[in-house]
Structure 1
């Protein structure tokens, strides 16, 4: 080590110092700046990628929330449609029952009217048959009574007695 200090030259030291400073200056100007720029650019790229990933994560969460909301709305709409369909079915059944009852009552009324008219027709026919039979019986009785001369005279006198002259 003494040898090293013994051979020490101030000029050489200054020259080496100037060369070292020049080398540092050249490295700073041509090497450090592009290296630092590349490192900074890479750091910015990583930050941007992290921000993009965070934004994508937030967007995915928003999409999932929207999907859940849309799914919930669809379920509510489906339930509403099913409820309306059930109500419509029940209303149609009730309307059909009411219409069937009305039709049944109309048919019963028509049947009653038909029965009444047939009954009246049967009664009228029965009356006609009874009157025909009565006339036939009266005719036979009168023939029997009027076949005898004495009976005819009695009948005429009786009728004349019943008839009052005004």
Structure 2
């Protein structure tokens, strides 16, 4: 049992050594240890505050970034809308110009056709007039006494005239 219960002398000397070490530690080591712990606690608190501040700044930057993105999307949509309007305007103007040009070409073609038709009619009239003169001239030269012979001769001359291209 001696091993379990130390002698009273050891107990007292151990207690005295403990108190001396405690007092030395209290006088020389306790304040630096506490100040170091206090500084460390302060640094940790400052780091947490800085992290919170950075977190808030990041959230603010994120919000600003989202606002800028939204503004950019709106500007892009507006630019696309304007581009479509300009494209539609240009297409409509081109269509109108094409219609005007087509109408002008059509009017020119119709005028040309009318002019050619009038020229052809004039030419036909001139040829018919010349043919009538020739037939009349031949009839008068012949001076036939019989009316039926005159009509027969006129028919023969009419058949001989080149009115159309006979193939």
Is TM-score (shorter-chain normalized) higher than 0.5? yes
The ranges of structure 1 where at least 4 consecutive aligned residues each deviate by more than 6 angstroms after the TM superposition are 16-21
Gaps of 5+ in 1: 1-15, 145-166
Count of residue pairs brought into register by the alignment: 129
Q: In the aligned structure 1, how far is the partner of 2:28 from the partner of 2:140?
A: 162
Q: In the aligned structure 2, how far is the partner of 1:124 from the partner of 1:25?
A: 146
Show the 5 A alignment for 1:142-161.
none
Write 1 or 2 for the structure with the bigger share of helix.
1
1:96 — aligned with what? 98
Measured after TM superposition, the shift of residue 142 of structure 1 is 7.9
Q: In the aligned structure 1, how far is the partner of 2:114 from the partner of 2:35?
A: 115
In the alignment, which of 25, 42, 45 is matched to residue 44 of structure 2?
A: 42
Q: In the aligned structure 1, how far is the partner of 2:27 from the partner of 2:118?
A: 131
Gaps of 5+ in 2: 1-17, 147-167
Q: Please state if 1:54 is matched with 2:66.
A: no
Larger-Rg structure: 1
In the alignment, which of 110, 113, 118 is matched to residue 111 of structure 1?
A: 113
RCO higher in 1 or 2 (8 Å CA, sep ≥ 6)? 2
Q: In the aligned structure 2, how far is the partner of 1:103 from the partner of 1:25?
A: 115
Once the two structures are superposed, residues 10-54 of structure 1 have per-residue CA deviations (whole angstroms, 9 ceiling, x without a partner) of xxxxxx999866543434433112211111111111011101100
Q: TM-score, normalised by structure 2?
A: 0.70
1:127 — aligned with what? 129
